[in-house]
Amino acid sequence: MLEATRAFLIENAEEKYKEFSGSLIPGEINMLGIRLPVLRKKAKELAKGNWKEELETEDIYFEEIMLRGMMISYVKGTLEEILPYIEDFIPRVNNWSVCDSVFSKMDLLRTDREKTWDFIQPYLYSDKEFEVRVGIIIMMQHLLKCDENGKTTKRLRTITFEDCMKVQQEDGPYLSRILEALNREFPQYYASMAAAWTIAEAFSCYPAQVYLFLQENRLDDVTYNRALQKIVESLIPQPEVKEMIKQMKRK
């Protein structure tokens, strides 16, 4: 970041928040302790100015990397124009916080979802843990949870046993492709957690299709059981559904 931007970040640092955030992100040492709303507001401001100049600098602090990604999210432009900057940013992601905070809000990725789908393929199958997580989070937030018009697909208010047994249910435009992309082993922790989270989110919107997926899949046991646990922890499934899901756990 430019010196003026770095000075702003230092001025807004909070020691107690740094301690709290540091406890959630093991191994991160160059942290200032700045709240996300402050970073998002600054990112929107920078995105309206000479943002390319900001991107030409190097980052020192955790929050600078976060700010870089957020700024890219808010820049006005076509997906084709911004994808090279996203591609440059992804190798800088080395923790779940930057990954999830940046890519969950990158709504530009919804403007051409087929291009987004093609873009994330190398990341989904990368041997790098956080590249895989980036691909999965993009897939979950901007492909799974969107309808044909790009609007957010809402979770069901409740999921009953009957919902899981429906022969036909309205399908999301990318659901089958997403489940196929997740139908494999995830040996790395943060990739595995993202895959489990996405399966649970898919269940909250499309229980019948995901229930069938859970019956037969190629997931490793740890990721599979994590997905079941996340479904059970949700407030949406009815007790009988939770009990059914619990019984599916692999030993």
- pLDDT tens for residues 80-132? 999 999 999 999 999 999 999 999 999 999 999 999 999 999 999 999 999 99
**Residue 14 counted as domain residue:** yes
**Residue 182 counted as domain residue:** no
What is the distance between the alpha carbons of residues 232 and 159, in angstroms, rounded to a whole number?
Answer: 11
**Residue 3 counted as domain residue:** yes
- Judged by average pLDDT, the poorest of 11-25, 59-73, 90-104, 138-152 is 138-152
**Residue 6 counted as domain residue:** yes
**Residue 48 counted as domain residue:** yes
Give me the domain span that covers residue 11.
Answer: 1-76
- Judged by average pLDDT, the poorest of 13-17, 84-88, 144-148 is 144-148
Whole-number mean pLDDT of the chain? 94
**Residue 123 counted as domain residue:** no
Cβ contacts of residue 7 below 8 Å, gap of 6+? Answer: none
**Residue 39 counted as domain residue:** yes
b/e code 134-173 from CB counts within 10 Å (16+ = b): bbbbbbbbbbbbbeeeeeebeeeeebeeebbeeeebeebb
**Residue 49 counted as domain residue:** yes
Do the Cβ atoms of 63 and 38 come closer than 8 Å? Answer: no
